[in-house]
Structure 1
Amino acid sequence: MIRALHRWPGLLALLLVTILSLSGAALSVFPAAERLAAPQAETKLTVATLADRIQLVYPGVEQIRRSPSGRITAYWFDQGKPGAAVIDPATGEGVASADPNQVERWLTNLHRSLFLGDGGRMAMAAGAAAMLVLSLSGAALVARRAGGWRHWFAPLRGPLAGRLHVEIARIAVVGLLLSSATALWMTASTFELLPDGGSPPAFPAAVSNGTGIALDRLAGLSETPVADLRALSFPYPEDAADVFTLKTDRGTGYLDQGDGALLAWADLTVWERVSETVYMLHTGQGAATLGLVLGLMALGVPAMGATGVQIWLAGRRGRPRIRNNQPAAGAETILLVGSEGGSTWGFAATLHAALTKAGQSVHVGPMSGFAPERYKRAERIILLAATYGDGTAPASAKGFLDWLNASERAPEIPLAVLGFGDRSFPNYCAFAEAVTSAAKAKGWPALLPLDTINRQSPQDFARWGRALGEVLGIPLELSHEPVLPTTKTLTLVSRRDYGAEVQAPTAILRFAVPRVSLWQRLTGSGFARFTAGDLIGIVPEGSAVPRLYSLASARRQGFIEIVVKKHAGGLCSGQLIALEPGETMTAFLRHNPGFKPGPSRVPLILIGAGTGIGPLAGFVRNNGRGRPIHLFFGIRHPDSDFFYVEDFSAWQQDGRLTRLITAVSRGARPHYVQDALRGEATQVADLVCNGARVMVCGGRDMAAGVADALGEILAPTGLTPAVLKAEGRYIEDVY
């Protein structure tokens, strides 16, 4: 519900909200510029002295105004001709034109009404309302993704667009809430939907009928500092019944021009003070610094709009269109999906189609949108939950476990959990297991025991479907055909071969980057954008399951590079190793935002063995700014599988690589990367204590040994690999 409330106002009102924010940001500069340009009155200067100075220069002065920025403007008549100027309070002389800034006026009309009068004001009010809804719902979504309000600034993972969207929102949401709420208040006031809240004092019925009192004898003027002045209106010449009208930060009063007596006074009401505060908060008039800060926050709106559209498009690409998807309130079966890359949504579509064919009413949605109060007719809830990284929630399941753990009791609707993962990973279906354990602890009734699907196996899925059908009392045959992303043909341009001497053929394969369309460039889809550490998926002939390989290159290098070792019986690796320059294969790109070095200048400790060196070599290759990188590389023998040996030498010479420490496992004294780490224990501990980021890539046995060695090295410091992972400073890409 919250996600939909955030998405649709954003998409529908994107142009309007963008105009509001950009024009508002531009207008926020003018109060600060006015404050800097306007001559300021000295602290002890009184209104009487100021008025006297101005009257000496401009005898026909009719009014003096002071803006919230401190700029003083005088208006007069000279021989029947009106005049106005910005005044230097030290001399009373005009120093600049009082004519309004035409650019500011144009921007103000655009910001308030799109140059369309009342209709435009209503349209911009709708934009402000949309911004308020976006800000409130966005804040709730940020808190959900971060794991609660207390973790507002917790580190993020996921695609760049999503992280950038949230990072900007974390900073800008306060300003956007303030700006949108005050804009709606001012619009309501403009259309007289709010009470006026105050009125000037009644004009005095009796005056002294005298004229010509010296200004310094007017106690109301001589006791009022210029800093409190808003406006002073002089009596009409030779009209003894007219008075001085004084407006200050406290209120409005009338002064007798004959004897200087205060004839009437009205303090500002509470409502007037609130309205003026709202005006100040929205425009920055009287609070130039705040205005600039709000203007900077408003500049985040176009960036959030662009990233929001990108997230929406990515979500539409990642989810298949599900026909006849029923509303949550009327569905008998609630099918919720937790997916990172999008493949689990395909299984959800297959299950939805089969259940619908069997006469069931089914609603499919993300686990992050779980809302049991909406499931009025639900008889069962089924969760299809993939696992991301080290057992954490995937993108479309953010916040589900937090909700479950925080709830007092689980729904009474029976639950079935189906986990998706890869048994070769140590955290196989860990998220699904965590959900199942939490549900059991809350007393959530089980429809089926936890089951798992290994490597997107259609056979496993069909087996589970038959079990579900037996429970439901309906025949249920799930025939799932994975829908793969759109692939591109890649042409091999060169290869470097290693490992033949130790019967472990390995090659560094370099492919040409395929052509991409203008739309792909704009949206970042296909092979339009990629960096080292991203993945390419290859579906070998004779199989429906893609194999993923880490990239050792970025788009700006102009080629796609991977490191492939031939495995005994390996279908995909065998086909890749057999490729010759000029031959082709088909592949798709999958971003891997969880395994990136980040833009920081803190040192990197890269640890890899065998083909795990691929993305690590890519990080070094892209290190044009000379970030300190310490690379630990495990090889079998220098003469057989020292991948990138020539490149490493060149990268050290040009400052891309600080240190290279190798560990040879097939030498006279077998040495592994974890042994190399222990040999550099002092420096490794110093680097980590000073903020270094550790990145590990390779087989799971190697990764486990590295974690143990690092735990021993850091034990005296009080740090552990688990603590570093929680801080986002220990990242693994393990296979």
Structure 2
Amino acid sequence: MLRQVHRWPGLLAATLILALALSGAVLSLFPATERLSAPTSVTGQTVGDLAAKVLAAHPGVEQIRRSPSGKITAYWFDADVAGAAVVDPATGLDVASADKGAVQRWLTDFHRSLLLGDAGRYATAAGALALLVLALSGALLVARRQGGWGRWFAAIRGPWTGRWHAELARVAVVGLGLSALTALWMAAATFDVLPVDEANPAMPSAVSGEVGMSPAAMIALQETPVADLRDLTFPYAGDAEDVFTLSTGAGTGFVDQGTGKMLVWQSPGPWTVLGEWIYLLHTGDGAALWGLILGLAALTVPVLSVTGGLIWWRNRQSRPRLAGMVAAPVAETVILVGSEGGSTWGFAAALARAVQGHGQGVHLAPLSTFAPLAYKHAKRIVIMTATWGDGDAPTSAKGALERLATAGPLAGVPLVVLGFGDRSFPAFCAYAEALEATAKAAGWTMPLPLDRIDRQSPQAFARWSRTFGEGIGLALDITHQPLPPQSTALRLVSRMDYGESVQAPTAILRFAVPKVDLWHRLTGRGFGRFRAGDLLGIVPEGDTVARLYSLASGEADGFIEIVVRKHPGGLCSGQLLTLQPGDAVQGFLRPNPGFQPDRSPAPLILIGAGTGIGPLAGFLRANRGHRPMHLWFGARHPQADYLYADDLATWQVDSRLTGLHTAFSRTGRRHYVQDALREDAEAIRRLMVDGARVMVCGGREMAQGVRDAMTEILLPLGLSPAALKAGGRYAEDTY
């Protein structure tokens, strides 16, 4: 629901919000330029002195105004001809025209009313309301994505569109929200919706009737600094009963033109004071730096529009279209999907169509939209979800676990959870397991135990569908064959072979980056943008299930590199290790935001064994800023499978690698990487005190051994791998 609240104002009012934001950004420059160009004020000058100088230069002066920037403008009549000019406070003489430039006048009118009068003012108010909804809902989404308000400024990970959208949003949301709120206030004031205070005090009943006193001699004007002046209106020439009207930030009063004394004074009411603050906050007039900050916030709107539009388009394209889908409140079967790569959506759509075939109303939606109170006619809720990383929620399931834990179960509505994953990974269906456990704890009725679909198996899904159909009284036997992911031909340019002598054939394979068109470069799709640690998917011949390999290179390196070890009976690894330079294989990219170095200057502890050095080598290769990086690497024998040995030596020389620690298990010492960690416990503890982050890549058994060693090492510091992982300082990429 929150995503929809955020999405639709942005989509429907995008052009209007863009027009208001860009015109507002340009207008934010004028207070700063006006302040820079305004004549220098005279230190300690009084209103009486200023008025006397202007009166000498323009005997027919009617009013003097001082803008928040310090610019002083005089207005007069000379032989019934009106005149106005910016004046020098030191002399009272004209220095510039009082008229705003044509561009500024046009932009101001456009920003306020789109050049359409009252109808335009209503439209801009609607745009401001849409922007306010976007700002508030966006702030809630960022907080939810970050895991709470306390982690507002924590590192953001994910595909570049979502990451940049959130990065900009969390910086600009305060300025954009405040601009929208103050715009709505000013619109309400324009249409007389808000209460108002009495503008001026009551005219005094008795005046001296005298005329001719110089403003420089008037006590009330001499006691008022020019810095406090808003405006001074002169009495009508020849009218002894008229008075000076003095307005400052502290209020408005009438000054007797014959005695120079203040006759009556009125401080501004609360609505006036509040309105003045609203005006300053919206325009920056009188606070030039704040105006520029607002302008910068407004300039984020075009970027947020583009990234937000790309996020919406990607999400829309990743979901299969379901003909005849009904809205959530009237659906009998609600199917909620948690997916990262999109394959789970295909299974969900197949289930939805099969249930529709029995005359049931079905609603298919991302798991992140989970909202039980909306499912008013539901007879069942089905959650079909993959797992991301080390048991985390996939992209389309963000926040669902927390809402499931807090939302009360629906009476008489069963909940079914089906997990998707790869049994070779340690966190196989871990997120689905967490959902099931949470649902049981919350009191949901769960007629079927959690089932798991390994490697998108059509047979396993068909078996589950029959069981599910029997439970709801429908004959279901669904066959769904996942489509292979869209891939690109990758040409091998070089290979380096290792490990034959220790019966572990391994190769560093380097592929050429395929040609990428401008659209894919701009959107980051396909091979348009990638980093070390992202995943290269390879679909082997004779299979539809991709194998994923961590990248040892980034886009800036100009090549695609992976490290592959041949597994006994391994279909994909066997095919890859038969490739020779010039051969090609089909591959695709998948972001891996959970295993990327953050951007802090804190030390980085890299731990890997065997082919797990691949992404770690990529991080070192990209470390051109010389962040302290320390590598603990385990292999079998230094003469057989010491991967990247020459590169590691080079990176030490040019300070990309700060410290190198190795362990070899097929030498006389039989040393493993966790043994090396224990030997360097004191050095590791010092790094952790300095805020180091730990990144581990390799086999599951190695990762568990490292976890045990790090638990022992960190115990004196009161830390643990689990606590560090919760704080974003311990990441694993295991297989």
- In 2, Cα distance between equivalents of 1:356 and 1:707: 48
- Residue 588 of structure 1: how far off its partner (Å): 1.3
Structure-1-length-normalised TM-score: 0.94
- In 1, Cα distance between equivalents of 2:150 and 2:693: 25
Range that drifts further, 697-706 or 482-491: 482-491
Going from structure 1 to structure 2, the CA distance change for 1:156 and 1:626 (only over 3 Å counts) comes to closer
Tell whether the 8 Å contact from 2:406 to 2:442 is kept in structure 1 after alignment: no
- In 1, Cα distance between equivalents of 2:411 and 2:706: 43
1:135 aligned partner, one-letter code: A
> 1:620 and 2:620 equivalent?
yes
- Residue 90 of structure 1: how far off its partner (Å): 4.3
Q: Which residue is 1:291 aligned to?
A: 291
Range that drifts further, 168-177 or 408-417: 408-417
> 1:9 and 2:9 equivalent?
yes
Structure-2-length-normalised TM-score: 0.94
Q: Which residue is 2:668 aligned to?
A: 668
Aligned pairs (5 A) from 1:432-451: 432-451=432-451
Q: Which residue is 1:653 aligned to?
A: 653
- In 2, Cα distance between equivalents of 1:380 and 1:69: 64
What SS does the corresponding residue of 2:617 show, helix, strand or coil?
helix
- In 2, Cα distance between equivalents of 1:130 and 1:512: 46
Deviations 1:578-604 (A, max 9, x none): 112222211111111111113333222
> 1:593 and 2:593 equivalent?
yes
Q: Which residue is 2:578 aligned to?
A: 578
Q: Which residue is 1:491 aligned to?
A: 491
Q: Which residue is 1:385 aligned to?
A: 385
Task: Return 5+ residue gaps in structure 1 as ranges.
Answer: none
- In 1, Cα distance between equivalents of 2:411 and 2:600: 44
- In 2, Cα distance between equivalents of 1:28 and 1:399: 38
1:525 aligned partner, one-letter code: R
Q: Which residue is 1:503 aligned to?
A: 503
- In 2, Cα distance between equivalents of 1:156 and 1:27: 32
1:243 aligned partner, one-letter code: V
- In 2, Cα distance between equivalents of 1:199 and 1:74: 22
Q: Which residue is 2:470 aligned to?
A: 470
- Residue 101 of structure 1: how far off its partner (Å): 4.2
Tell whether the 8 Å contact from 2:351 to 2:478 is kept in structure 1 after alignment: yes
Going from structure 1 to structure 2, the CA distance change for 1:151 and 1:502 (only over 3 Å counts) comes to closer
Q: Which residue is 1:527 aligned to?
A: 527
1:345 aligned partner, one-letter code: W
- Residue 249 of structure 1: how far off its partner (Å): 2.7
Deviations 1:469-523 (A, max 9, x none): 1101111112111133311111222222222222222111122222222322222
Going from structure 1 to structure 2, the CA distance change for 1:146 and 1:413 (only over 3 Å counts) comes to farther
- In 1, Cα distance between equivalents of 2:187 and 2:578: 70
- In 2, Cα distance between equivalents of 1:152 and 1:643: 39
Deviations 1:170-213 (A, max 9, x none): 23222212111111222233344445554445666775543212
- Residue 546 of structure 1: how far off its partner (Å): 0.9
- In 1, Cα distance between equivalents of 2:648 and 2:188: 66
- Residue 417 of structure 1: how far off its partner (Å): 1.0
Q: Which residue is 2:543 aligned to?
A: 543
What SS does the corresponding residue of 2:131 show, helix, strand or coil?
helix
Q: Which residue is 2:631 aligned to?
A: 631
2:496 aligned partner, one-letter code: R
Going from structure 1 to structure 2, the CA distance change for 1:633 and 1:366 (only over 3 Å counts) comes to same
Range that drifts further, 269-278 or 346-355: 269-278
2:401 aligned partner, one-letter code: L
- In 1, Cα distance between equivalents of 2:617 and 2:520: 27
> 1:162 and 2:152 equivalent?
no
- In 2, Cα distance between equivalents of 1:579 and 1:45: 85
2:669 aligned partner, one-letter code: R
- In 1, Cα distance between equivalents of 2:75 and 2:151: 55
Q: Which residue is 1:418 aligned to?
A: 418
Going from structure 1 to structure 2, the CA distance change for 1:508 and 1:411 (only over 3 Å counts) comes to farther
What SS does the corresponding residue of 2:634 show, helix, strand or coil?
strand
- Residue 250 of structure 1: how far off its partner (Å): 4.0
Q: Which residue is 2:375 aligned to?
A: 375
Aligned pairs (5 A) from 1:698-717: 698-717=698-717
Aligned pairs (5 A) from 1:242-253: 242-253=242-253
- In 1, Cα distance between equivalents of 2:222 and 2:171: 46
- In 2, Cα distance between equivalents of 1:518 and 1:155: 29
- In 2, Cα distance between equivalents of 1:215 and 1:602: 65
What SS does the corresponding residue of 1:633 show, helix, strand or coil?
strand
- Residue 78 of structure 1: how far off its partner (Å): 5.1
Identity %: 61
Tell whether the 8 Å contact from 2:85 to 2:96 is kept in structure 1 after alignment: yes
- In 2, Cα distance between equivalents of 1:264 and 1:413: 73
Q: Which residue is 1:258 aligned to?
A: 258
Q: Which residue is 1:724 aligned to?
A: 724
Deviations 1:395-428 (A, max 9, x none): 2222122223334666552111112222223322
Deviations 1:66-109 (A, max 9, x none): 11223222233456665444344344444544342454334323
- In 2, Cα distance between equivalents of 1:618 and 1:174: 37
1:646 aligned partner, one-letter code: D
Going from structure 1 to structure 2, the CA distance change for 1:686 and 1:101 (only over 3 Å counts) comes to farther
> 1:279 and 2:270 equivalent?
no
- Residue 43 of structure 1: how far off its partner (Å): 7.0
2:587 aligned partner, one-letter code: A
- In 1, Cα distance between equivalents of 2:31 and 2:366: 46
- In 1, Cα distance between equivalents of 2:110 and 2:655: 52
- In 2, Cα distance between equivalents of 1:634 and 1:546: 27
Tell whether the 8 Å contact from 1:412 to 1:444 is kept in structure 2 after alignment: no
- Residue 287 of structure 1: how far off its partner (Å): 3.1
- In 2, Cα distance between equivalents of 1:636 and 1:571: 24
- In 1, Cα distance between equivalents of 2:723 and 2:33: 48
Count of aligned pairs between the two proteins? 735
- Residue 444 of structure 1: how far off its partner (Å): 1.2
Tell whether the 8 Å contact from 1:64 to 1:74 is kept in structure 2 after alignment: yes
1:360 aligned partner, one-letter code: Q
- In 1, Cα distance between equivalents of 2:227 and 2:483: 71
Q: Which residue is 1:309 aligned to?
A: 309
Q: Which residue is 1:517 aligned to?
A: 517
- In 1, Cα distance between equivalents of 2:151 and 2:439: 24
Q: Which residue is 1:559 aligned to?
A: 559
- Residue 430 of structure 1: how far off its partner (Å): 1.9
- In 2, Cα distance between equivalents of 1:330 and 1:10: 27
- In 2, Cα distance between equivalents of 1:710 and 1:569: 34
Going from structure 1 to structure 2, the CA distance change for 1:499 and 1:39 (only over 3 Å counts) comes to same
1:293 aligned partner, one-letter code: I
1:389 aligned partner, one-letter code: G
- Residue 702 of structure 1: how far off its partner (Å): 0.7
- In 1, Cα distance between equivalents of 2:148 and 2:680: 39
- Residue 331 of structure 1: how far off its partner (Å): 0.4
Deviations 1:533-563 (A, max 9, x none): 1111111112121111111112222221111
1:303 aligned partner, one-letter code: V
Range that drifts further, 484-493 or 401-410: 401-410
Tell whether the 8 Å contact from 1:410 to 1:444 is kept in structure 2 after alignment: yes
- Residue 262 of structure 1: how far off its partner (Å): 5.2
Aligned pairs (5 A) from 1:678-693: 678-693=678-693
> 1:187 and 2:187 equivalent?
yes
Aligned pairs (5 A) from 1:128-147: 128-147=128-147
- Residue 219 of structure 1: how far off its partner (Å): 4.4
- In 1, Cα distance between equivalents of 2:104 and 2:304: 26
2:431 aligned partner, one-letter code: F
Aligned pairs (5 A) from 1:99-138: 99-138=99-138
Q: Which residue is 2:344 aligned to?
A: 344
Aligned pairs (5 A) from 1:192-271: 192-194=192-194, 197-201=197-201, 208-216=208-216, 218-260=218-260, 267-271=267-271
What SS does the corresponding residue of 1:666 show, helix, strand or coil?
coil
> 1:62 and 2:75 equivalent?
no
Deviations 1:697-730 (A, max 9, x none): 1101111111111222222222221222122121
Tell whether the 8 Å contact from 2:335 to 2:383 is kept in structure 1 after alignment: yes
Tell whether the 8 Å contact from 1:533 to 1:618 is kept in structure 2 after alignment: yes
Range that drifts further, 156-165 or 668-677: 156-165
Tell whether the 8 Å contact from 2:532 to 2:554 is kept in structure 1 after alignment: yes
What SS does the corresponding residue of 1:189 show, helix, strand or coil?
helix
- Residue 265 of structure 1: how far off its partner (Å): 5.4
